Structures are given as C-alpha cells and as structure tokens.
Amino acid sequence: MNLSGILPLEKPAGMTSHDCVLLARRWFNTREVGHTGTLDPDVTGVLPICVGRATKLVPILMEGEKAYEGKIALGSSTTTEDASGEVLDRQEVREAIPNEELERTFASFVGELRQVPPMYSAVKVNGKRLYEYARAGETVERPVRSVTVYAFDRTGHPSWSPEQGHLFIPFSVVCSKGTYVRTLAVEAGKRLGYPAHLSLLRRTMSAGIEQNACVSISEMDERLEQGRVAAPLLSVEHVLRDFPHYEVSDRELRKITNGAVLPASDYPRSKRIVFTKKQQALAIYTPHPRKKGMIKPDVMLRLDVGS
C-alpha cells in the first residue's frame, strides 16, 4: 500500500505529537510520516500528519498561520507557563476586570511581537533543548524570536473559580509559526496586573485544516481494522489550494520533471507557484536565490504524470 496525503488528526490530551506519528506509521504501514508542528502534550486539536510523498510538504505547511482557542488563568504563574507546572507566584484577583480593559489588553498584542521562548520548550540552545536545561535546574540565555499575532480576542465572559482561586478568561488567537500561546497568556496577565498561566488550549486550525475536518485516534484504529485508513487522507492538491497554480504544457512537463530552472517572467509572480498537469501537483517552484529573474524547484512532488 503506497499511500500519500495529509491526515487531519485530532490530537487528544496526554499524547505528544511524536506519539501520533508513531501511530500513523502503524496505520499506514510506512515510516514516511511527519507532523507539521508540535503540540504540547496537554494541548488538543488539529495535528496535520503528512504521509508518503506528502512529507515533502512539511516545511511549507509548518509556515502557515495557526488558530487556537483556550483559557487564561489569572491569579497564578507557573514554571511551565501552563497548568502542568509548579506554582511560582499567586495573587488573588479581588475585583472584576472590565470587558473594555480585557479587549484593549488583547488588542495590544496584535501585530509583530518579540517573544522569548519558555524554558520548558523544545527550542535548542547549544545543542540541548530548553526543557532539558529546565529539568536540570539550569537557566540559559534564550533566543528572542519575532512572531506575528493576527488576531487575539476574548470569546466569552470571564468566570471565577473559588476552588482554584483563578479568574478564567476564554480567548481565541490566530498567529504565525513559532508563537508560544503560553507566553501570550503570561504576558496578557502581566498587562492586566496579575500573575497568569495558560489553563487550557486547543488548536482549531493548522495548514488550512480546521478541526471539523479531523478524525480521532479511535476512528483511525477502527479504519485500520476495516482496511479503510486511506479515506480520511487529504490530497496534496487540497492543502496547496491557496497557492497560485499553473497547468503546464507537455513541453513544460518534461522540463519540470527534470528539475529545470525556468524564467520567472513566463509564469505568475509569486513566492511559491504550484505546477500541475491534469490538476495534479508536480512541483513547487520558488525564486532562484542566485539567478535573478529565474525560478527553481523547491519541492518535487510527482514525476509519474503522463502527457
């Protein structure tokens, strides 16, 4: 079985993204599997998993914007910036926060931001992941990243939990690759005058795939028993639908399948262009870094489309 496509998986809490890749290898009986952006174990939601030749798209799909829904817990901060860490600081929220202040605070994050990754994260510094330093009780200088928040909104009324001593604020966010929503929650708390952490998070969109398109792990296990694992796979063409496409001639087909460098002026001007034949994606071309006015293959997807 030589399958190819993108599995829109619903990741449950308590599993790593790599755990899901291991399951996909079993479902599709191949090691040619890769996910398109790590989700923390406690985070649920959309985890697109590329299978077969679609694994070539992983770097491109990872670049796309992502959407989340969650809750900020106002009243305490933690070592991990989420609910799994140890409490660092507590401060009782003694009064209601006006909706206007919440909305003004959230809106202040929209745009390009400079973020420092949490110590409990997979970012590498000097060959080691930050969480390895954190678990050893060490601190290191962390790289500052530029990220973009496209939208950050309150999605409901805050709710007070007397048992936990927290004010929970529901939100949604649309952001670029590399954005730590945990850190957004902490920073939003600071601007509101309280320690805070991320209490709940669900990814609702990634690589253009929304959660209503996703399948669960239990559903995939059932499909494996029934021999129907291929059905939920999205095509390469589907996930590339928002890029400019160009249907090639037979002469161009031969050039492209041979990886030829082409004049950019002959084709739509774009950061990326998807060349197709019979509506099947052949290759993705990008501007040549050294040859001005030329484009070159970035990803070769299919060589078996006849003229």
Among residues 158, 203, 195, the alpha carbon closest in space to that of 177 is found at 203
Q: Is residue 44 pLDDT above 70, yes or no? A: yes
pLDDT score, position 302: 80
- Rounded to whole angstroms, how far apart are CA atoms 66 and 179? 9
Looking at domain 66-200, what is its CATH homologous superfamily?
Pseudouridine synthase (3.30.2350.10)
- Buried residues in 65-82 as b, exposed as e (16+ CB within 10 A): bbbbbbbbbbbbbbebbb
Q: Label residue 305 by pLDDT band (50, 70, 90).
A: low
| Cα atoms in the 13 Å half-sphere on the side-chain side of 104 | 7
What is the pTM (predicted TM-score) of this model? 0.91
In the numeric block, the tokens 């669900």 are attached to 202
pLDDT tens digits, 265-282: 999 999 999 999 999 999
Q: How many helices (H) and strands (E) does the chain have?
A: 8, 19
Q: Label residue 19 by pLDDT band (50, 70, 90).
A: very high
What is the arrangement of strands in the sheet containing 262-263, beginning at the earlier edge strand? Answer: 245-247, 273-277, 280-287, 294-300, 262-263
pLDDT score, position 1: 54
Q: What is the mean pLDDT of residues 179-183?
A: 94
Q: Report yes or no: 76 and 85 within 8 Å, Cβ to Cβ.
A: no
Q: What is the DSSP letter of 39?
A: -
Q: Is residue 259 pLDDT above 80, yes or no? A: yes
Neighbours of 180 (CB within 10 A): 21
Q: Is residue 126 pLDDT above 80, yes or no? A: yes
Q: What is the mean pLDDT of residues 194-200?
A: 96
pLDDT tens digits, 247-256: 999 999 999 9
- Buried residues in 254-281 as b, exposed as e (16+ CB within 10 A): eebbeeeebebeebeebebbbbbbeeeb
Q: Label residue 307 by pLDDT band (50, 70, 90).
A: very low
- Catalytic, 40? Answer yes
Looking at domain 243-300, what is its CATH homologous superfamily?
PUA domain (2.30.130.10)
66-200 and 243-300 have identical folds: no
Domain locations along the chain: 5-64+208-235, 66-200, 243-300
CATH of domain 5-64+208-235: 3.30.2350.10
Helix axes 181-192, 99-107, angle to 10 degrees: 130
pLDDT tens digits, 57-104: 999 999 999 999 999 999 999 999 999 989 999 998 888 899 999 999
pLDDT score, position 306: 53
Q: Is residue 240 pLDDT above 70, yes or no? A: yes
Catalytic residue among 19, 40, 221, 298: 40
Q: What is the mean pLDDT of residues 188-195?
A: 96
Q: What is the mean pLDDT of residues 19-45?
A: 94
Of 120-124, 151-155, 194-198, 239-243, the range with the lowest mean pLDDT is 120-124
Q: Label residue 133 by pLDDT band (50, 70, 90).
A: confident
At CA 122, angle to CA 121 and CA 126, rounded to 5?
110
In the numeric block, the tokens 């296990």 are attached to 221
